[in-house]
Structure 1
Amino acid sequence: MKELLFTFKNELASTGVILLLVLVLKYGITKTVRKVGRISDIHEIRTRLIIKYLSFGITFLGIVAIIFVWGVNIRDIGLVFSSIFAVIGVALFASWSIISNVTAGVILFFTFPFKIGDRIKIFDKEIDYEGSLLIEDIRAYHIHLRKDNGELMTYPNNLLLQKAVSLIGTYDHSRDGSDAL
């Protein structure tokens, strides 16, 4: 056992450093995203969703780094990954809009100037509605909008980035719970 540890001491040390770096990055990004969410008054569910996406990405990069540290043959890894990506590519081609909407959801988390409770108008010729829309929820794939007549409409996140949107009325988020009594 000591001989094995001595033989692979550099790889083990590098793996430990990578694992420590992944943990520190996850902690730092989680704190940062929570702070951005709190400052921007973003709903906690959306904040947790973004943390999950970023955590997955950091973990994936850490695994790739560990694979390279241990000197796994690139051709072997390339063969495995090309097979996996071929299958995944066919599956993702069918659901490309889902990936587009998730990416748009991440972008909207950091840059969307509207919040839950605000009234907006979307300038889209395919929406057969002229009134304002109330933002009820912003999810990973779509946004829930309530029409004045009470009808619930879902609108894809990627289209929200592509269409012109105007703010009609802002909800006062500082009053949440103030009139509970």
Structure 2
Amino acid sequence: MSFFEENTPKIVSTIILLVCVTIIRFIITALIKRYAKHAEINEHRAILVSKYISFVIMAMTLAGVFMIWGVRTNDVYLAFTSVITIIGVAFFAQWSILSNITAGIILFFSFPFKIGDTIRIHDKDFPLEGEIDDIKAFHTYLRTKEGELVTYPNNLLLQKGVSIVNTTREEREFMD
């Protein structure tokens, strides 16, 4: 008996699962983009949220493929816990990376300020005022009045006091 004859039900089930997941990902991405446009959320944030959701969906898909093919759960748990342990030790050694990722997620979902806002960071050693150019997972880009582009870690944005500075209409560009 050949491999294909023996595993036809598993192959068909896997293909059906992958097609369904692809359709679901497409629909969810379209819904997120539509919601972002309706709620006037920055497109960049919507794309990042889509990526995070796609990552979760792909992890669930991998679990589904494991179940279809009958992979022993003990082997999966062993591999998963080993990888998580290694990642945990690496992140513990680099706690600032982990804190920046966490702060980036908080900034993405809580929206305390948005791209285009002018903020003032209250730091006694290095006070800073600038317009937010972009918010990434690890850091935020601020443009000062002098035109300097400053990369500021997200964890410090959550630790320091931040004020949103009101700018007058004449100072800001017209954005449609």
* CA-CA distance at 1:106 after TM superposition: 3.3
Deviation at 1:63, TM superposition (A): 0.2
Taking the aligned partners of 1:14 and 1:111, their CA distance within structure 2 comes to 39
Residue type at the aligned position of 1:167: I
Q: Does 1:156 align with 2:158?
A: no
Higher relative contact order (CA 8 A, sep 6+): 1
Secondary structure, counterpart of 2:120 in structure 1: strand
Q: Which runs of 5+ in 1 are unaligned?
A: none
State the 1:109 CA deviation.
2.6
Deviation at 1:134, TM superposition (A): 1.7
1:136 aligns with 2:133: yes
Q: CA distance change for structure 1 residues 98 and 33 in 2, over 3 Å: closer, same or farther?
A: farther
1:65-123 superposed Cα distances (whole Å, 9 cap, x missing partner): 22123221122222222333333333222334324323432332333142222112234
Give the TM-score normalised by the residue count of structure 2: 0.74
Q: Secondary structure at the match of 1:137?
A: strand
Structure 2 partner of 1:30: 29
Compared CA separation, residues 126 and 62, structure 1 to 2 (3 A): farther
User: Secondary structure of the equivalent of 2:151?
Assistant: strand
AA at the equivalent of 1:128: F
1:3-152 maps to which residues of 2 (within 5 A)? 3-5=5-7, 9=9, 11-12=10-11, 14-123=13-122, 125=123, 127-129=125-127, 132-152=129-149
SS in 1 for 2:165: strand
Amino acid at match of 1:52: K
**Identity of aligned pairs, percent?**
42
Q: What secondary structure sits across from 2:116 in the alignment?
A: coil
The alpha-carbon distance between structure 1 residues 89 and 132, as it changes in their structure 2 partners (threshold 3 A), is closer
Structure 2: which 5+ residue stretches go unaligned? none
Single out whichever of 136-145 and 28-37 deviates more from structure 2. 28-37
Change (3 A) 1:86 1:111: closer
Determine helix, strand or coil for the equivalent of 2:82.
helix
Secondary structure of the residue aligned to 2:132 is strand
Give me the whole-angstrom Cα distance separating, in 1, the residues matched to 2:152 and 2:35: 25
Partners of 1:50 and 1:106 within 8 A in 2? no
Aligned length: 172
Deviation string 1:127-170 (CA, Å, 9 cap, x unpaired) is 522x6432122122111123344443322223323444322126
